Amino acid sequence: MELDEATIQRARRGDRGAQDAFLRRYAGPLHALLKRAGTLNTEDAVQELLAKLLSVLPRFNPAGSAMLTTWVFTVAHRWLLDQRKRRHLTLVPLEQALDIADRTPGADRMLEQKQMSSLLESAIARLPDEQRRIFLLAQVHQQPLEALAAVEGVPVGTVKSRLHRARAQLLALMAPVLRKLEGEGHASPRRA
């Protein structure tokens, strides 16, 4: 749920209570984003990112077209890109990822042991960095593709391509599990 405009204004002016409301609203989603994006020491990183958000919050223009959530994720997106420049992340190329998935002997057993979400988490972790970033922001956190394109510095079409590519890869990685779920008549997880 978005914060109301009065709370945003108070948070911008440095009101502690409003800042807490702001932090509580975004700490969870940002933790999820950074953790799934493969950020090391996630809690420290989220703490740093939230402090940065508070420091630049006075620059957010509530009258502007972008909603606060989009603005927050834009800052987070830039932060992720900046971290990527700083650190060498270990990426698993698609071909290798597919090999791993295909050769996994215990896919059936995993299905019994783990929930769909944890399997999806591990499949997301295998995506190449730029596809994972776009998938998380666009699909999991529902950020507009135009905003993602602006931060990535690429056309919207490129963002769409990365997103479709990511979905295709995830589908390939998870097909055995999804087929098994369908075969056993498991209900697809629904959005709460």
- 73-112 residues in contact with other proteins (CB under 8 A) are 74-75, 78, 83, 86-88, 90, 94
23 binds other proteins (CB under 8 A): yes
Closest CA to 26 of 8, 9, 6: 8
Task: Return the residues of window 112-131 that contact other proteins according to CB under 8 A.
Answer: 116-117, 120-121
Q: Which one of residues 127, 135, 152, 159 is an interface residue with other proteins (CB under 8 A)?
A: 135
Smallest Cα–Cα separation from 148: which of 78, 49, 69? 78
Size of the site for other proteins (CB under 8 A): 77
Question: Binding of other proteins at residue 5 (CB under 8 A)?
Answer: no
Is 18 near other proteins (CB under 8 A)?
no
Using CB under 8 A, pick the residue from 1, 16, 106, 184 that binds other proteins.
16
E-assigned strands of 115-183? none
Verify binding: residue 165, other proteins, rule CB under 8 A.
yes
Q: In the complex, what is the shortest distance from the CB of residue 168 to other proteins, in angstroms, rounded to a whole number?
A: 4
Residue 185 touches other proteins, criterion: CB under 8 A: no
Does residue 172 touch other proteins according to CB under 8 A?
Answer: yes
Backbone angles phi, psi at 189, to 5 degrees: -60, 140
By residue count, the chain amounts to 192
Nearest C-alpha neighbor of 133 from the set 190, 191, 82: 82
CB of 109 to other proteins, least distance (A): 20
Q: Phi then psi for 21, rounded to 5 degrees?
A: -60, -40
Q: x/- string (CB under 8 A) for other proteins, residues 145-164?
A: --x--xx-x------x--xx
Write the burial class of residue 44 (CB in 10 Å: 0-12 exposed, 13-18 middle, 19+ buried).
exposed
Among 31, 126, 132, 133, binds other proteins (CB under 8 A): 31
